[in-house]
Amino acid sequence: MRTGIATVCLSGTLREKLQACAVAGFDGIEIFEQDLVTSPLSPEDVRKMAADLGLSLDLYQPFRDFDSVPEELLAANLRRAEAKFRLMSRLGMDTVLVCSNVGTASIDDDDLRAAQLSRLAGLAADHGVKVAYEALAWGRYVNDYEHAHRLVQTVDHPNLGTCLDSFHILSRDWDTAPIESFNPDKIFFVQVADAPKLSLDVLSWSRHYRVFPGEGQFDLAKFLGHVVRAGYSGPVSLEVFNDVFRQSDVERTAVDAMRSLIWLEEQSAKWLDANPTAAGPDGRSAGPAPGTRRRYPMELATLPQVAEPAGFNFAEVRAADTAALETLLGQLGFAFNGRHRTKNVQLWTMGHARVIINEESAGAESSGTATAPAISAVGFDVDSPVIAAARAQQLKAPAVPRKSQADEEIFQGFAAPDSTEIFLCQGSPDGTAAWTREFGEGLELPAAGRAGAPGAVIDHVNLAQPWQHFDEAVLFYTSALALEPQPYAEVASPTGLVRSQVMLTRDRGVRLVLNLAPLLQQEGAAAGPGQRRSYQEHIAFAVDDLVATARAAQARGLDFLRIPENYYEDLEARFDLEPAFLATLRELNLLYDRDADGEFLHFYTATVGSVFFEMVERRGAYDGYGAPNAPVRHAVQYDHLHQLKPTP
């Protein structure tokens, strides 16, 4: 698949955009007119620079408001077009995007439109240019891709074809299956964009909220599958108008964009395999024989295949001063499993829940600042760490080197967009981890299980995301780790709404929650050197008997997050709870939720640095996270933080 991207997707100048696209590995680009008009580079400069960078200049765009106009306006439009065609020849470009008229269309007549497009195609031919005509979703008269294609067929000129843009098609819920029957010679260009499903008017939605494939809710695998089946083999090019990408670091966004195409390519190949074509005219299936893939003009590369991770292998917290963390874990019922034989890390376990405390020194030393406790890494159980790592690498995840002694387990690690380190570990059917043997030499064994709940596991990990990398994070975890994004929730806190995006495996072995803190809080967090972020994140552990766990923790002196009495009175009003049960919740500062599928009990610890812990018990098939209780948690944590602050 030939990959492309429109310059309008990225921040910076035309020069910066071209360089970033080349570094990210794109085959070609679309030049968005405004990027050229505002550039000090001459068309000849751009042509040379693209050639030097190995980028083909695939599409000049957009040419607006051409068709469905009276004759005198048509003359002006043709004059305008000719100027652009001349410019394109200086750029060495041969395809221009002409979108259906929005602003000046006044005559709704397909014959007239066809005649006008025919004249444009003729003029284009004189200049060696091909016109790719696209139906904008909000075009005045032409807003349906099949309509645009019918016009192309009517004109039947070698220099007129159609441009298929997934946004304009999927935002209107048009059926994409008819694409398969298009003559591939008449499909001049294909643009892809994803988007969250919004109820906004389609123009605003398009101009501000498009995202890269895998970051939204469109079925792009199917769309591209139909395009492939039609026999198209040209560029598949991203055209994404997004308020955040427009301001983010250009090189980073280009990599995010490239990752989305690599992932889409794989998803489309899978869709093609899963959806063989219907029986052909001769009655035999036109689909491929089992185990073989039908060949199309467009070759779709695939990635190393991985199953979804089976569970969390470990979570790691980094801190300069680890005392508070050690106390907290001990009180929760975790057992100290000793220090690593060569690294400055401790292992704490409860059942199969493993927490590594990384006694960071190197980073803190060089920056001169001590690091407050923060979640630094998460390990996932996968079938094959090597294959999973190869997949992540092909998806352009930045590798994280971890030194290892010769006889120690090597962890394949990658940096997630929020800079958490993601490790791919060998899972084992019994939930144990071989690498734990590297810990605790000289300790009385087995340390695990001595205290706390033997059935404990990591239930979910909640990571705070910088707002400008949120969409990138969703795609990263989707593509590299095979997690599935769920509809997000919004939770009120004293400092604003917190967005909570759950990413799941189908069997719920992994629940990762991406939290988007309010902007002002993110700005205020102003991470100092060595301090990644100061807004809160947490690790939640599931146990079989939360009340017993809480009682034991209470006996060990745990500092529970104190739940206000008003909460329990509200709980009483909302649910018909047994008085004795309610009294227990109250006594132990437990929170409670219930839905049609089951019940949820949980409690929180106080926060150390930017980390706190949660203990949960899921009863029945409860699948949530106690979202109605989150505002209580936020308010109490805010009160704590506030009390710690010196009065001005």
Tokens matching residue 461: 């990990």
The reply on whether position 73 binds a second copy by CB under 8 A is: no
The reply on whether position 638 binds a second copy by CB under 8 A is: yes
Q: CA-CA distance, 637 to 270, in Å (whole number)?
A: 45
Query: Which amino acid, residue 24?
Result: A
Q: CA-CA distance, 55 to 46, in Å (whole number)?
A: 11
Residue 324 CB, shortest distance to a second copy, in Å, is 23
Q: Could you say which of 497, 506, 508, 597 contacts a second copy (CB under 8 A)?
A: 497
Which residues fall within 8 angstroms of residue 625, CB to CB, at 6 or more apart? Answer: 460, 500, 502, 511, 513, 600
| Residue range at the interface with a second copy (CB under 8 A); choices 83-91, 128-136, 294-302, 367-375 | 83-91
The reply on whether position 150 binds a second copy by CB under 8 A is: no
In Å, what is the CA distance from 532 to each residue of 355, 529, 536, 638? Answer: 20, 8, 11, 20
Residue 586 CB, shortest distance to a second copy, in Å, is 14
- By the 10 Å C-beta count (0-12 exposed, 13-18 middle, 19+ buried), 13 is classed as middle
Residue 413 CB, shortest distance to a second copy, in Å, is 26
CB–CB of 435/443 below 8 Å? no
Q: CA-CA distance, 170 to 234, in Å (whole number)?
A: 20
Scanning residues 321 to 360, which ones bind a second copy (CB under 8 A)? none
The reply on whether position 52 binds a second copy by CB under 8 A is: no
The reply on whether position 518 binds a second copy by CB under 8 A is: yes
According to DSSP, residue 194 is labeled B
The reply on whether position 520 binds a second copy by CB under 8 A is: yes
The reply on whether position 23 binds a second copy by CB under 8 A is: no
CB–CB of 306/388 below 8 Å? yes
Q: Could you say which of 2, 47, 84, 294 contacts a second copy (CB under 8 A)?
A: 84
Residue 515 CB, shortest distance to a second copy, in Å, is 15
Residue 128 CB, shortest distance to a second copy, in Å, is 18
Query: What does the CA dihedral 267, 482, 484, 250 come to, rounded to 10 degrees?
Result: -80
The reply on whether position 106 binds a second copy by CB under 8 A is: no
The reply on whether position 11 binds a second copy by CB under 8 A is: yes
| Residue range at the interface with a second copy (CB under 8 A); choices 5-13, 66-74, 381-389, 397-405 | 5-13
User: In 10 A of CB 632, how many CB atoms?
Assistant: 18
Q: CA-CA distance, 644 to 73, in Å (whole number)?
A: 69
Residue with smaller CB distance to a second copy, 38 or 292: 38
Question: For residues 73-103, b (16+ Cβ closer than 10 Å) or e, as one string?
Answer: bbeebbeebbebbebbeebebbbbbbbbbbe
Q: Can you state the angle between helices 250-274 and 14-24, rounded to 10 degrees?
A: 50
| Residue range at the interface with a second copy (CB under 8 A); choices 78-86, 371-379, 502-510, 596-604 | 78-86
Residue with smaller CB distance to a second copy, 448 or 561: 561
The reply on whether position 76 binds a second copy by CB under 8 A is: yes
User: Is 60 strand, coil or helix?
Assistant: strand
* Nearest Cα to Cα of residue 422 among 351, 349, 514: 514
Residue with smaller CB distance to a second copy, 19 or 549: 19
Residue with smaller CB distance to a second copy, 171 or 349: 171
Q: CA-CA distance, 277 to 285, in Å (whole number)?
A: 7
Tokens matching residue 554: 């209470």
Tokens matching residue 550: 């809480």
Residue with smaller CB distance to a second copy, 76 or 286: 76
Scanning residues 569 to 598, which ones bind a second copy (CB under 8 A)? 569-570, 572-574, 576
Residue 21 CB, shortest distance to a second copy, in Å, is 15
Looking up tokens 């602003």, which residue turns up? Answer: 103
CB–CB of 332/604 below 8 Å? no
Q: Could you say which of 229, 533, 602, 634 contacts a second copy (CB under 8 A)?
A: 634
Residue with smaller CB distance to a second copy, 36 or 443: 36
Interface mask toward a second copy for 451-470; x: CB under 8 A = ----------------xx--
Looking up tokens 């939640």, which residue turns up? Answer: 540
Residue with smaller CB distance to a second copy, 111 or 201: 201
Query: Which amino acid, residue 478?
Result: T
The reply on whether position 72 binds a second copy by CB under 8 A is: no
Q: Could you say which of 49, 53, 78, 87 contacts a second copy (CB under 8 A)?
A: 87
Scanning residues 223 to 282, which ones bind a second copy (CB under 8 A)? 243, 246-248
The reply on whether position 40 binds a second copy by CB under 8 A is: yes
Residue with smaller CB distance to a second copy, 96 or 261: 96
Residue 232 CB, shortest distance to a second copy, in Å, is 30
Binding residues for a second copy, total number by CB under 8 A: 61
Mapping DSSP onto H, E and C, the string for 88-123 reads HHHHCCCEEEEECCCCCCCCCCHHHHHHHHHHHHHH
Tokens matching residue 178: 């008819």
User: Is 213 strand, coil or helix?
Assistant: coil
Residue 455 CB, shortest distance to a second copy, in Å, is 32
Scanning residues 548 to 567, which ones bind a second copy (CB under 8 A)? 562, 564-567
Question: For residues 286-311, b (16+ Cβ closer than 10 Å) or e, as one string?
Answer: ebeeeeeeeebebebeebbebebbbb
Residue with smaller CB distance to a second copy, 84 or 150: 84
CB–CB of 460/340 below 8 Å? no
Residue 72 CB, shortest distance to a second copy, in Å, is 12
The reply on whether position 301 binds a second copy by CB under 8 A is: no
Residue 648 CB, shortest distance to a second copy, in Å, is 12
The reply on whether position 83 binds a second copy by CB under 8 A is: yes
Q: Could you say which of 104, 495, 554, 584 contacts a second copy (CB under 8 A)?
A: 495
Length of the chain: 648
Strand arrangement of the beta sheet that strand 335-339 belongs to: 335-339, 345-350, 353-359, 311-319, 374-382, 421-426, 412-415
Query: Which amino acid, residue 405?
Result: Q
Residue with smaller CB distance to a second copy, 241 or 477: 241
Residue with smaller CB distance to a second copy, 508 or 562: 562
Tokens matching residue 403: 């030194």
| Residue range at the interface with a second copy (CB under 8 A); choices 93-101, 223-231, 305-313, 629-637 | 629-637
Residue with smaller CB distance to a second copy, 76 or 307: 76
Determine how β-strand 496-504 pairs with β-strand 484-485: antiparallel
CB–CB of 269/223 below 8 Å? no
Contact footprint for a second copy (CB under 8 A): 11-13, 16, 33-34, 36-43, 76, 79-80, 83-84, 87, 198-201, 204, 208, 243, 246-248, 467-468, 492, 494-497, 518-521, 523, 562, 564-567, 569-570, 572-574, 576, 631-632, 634-636, 638-639, 642
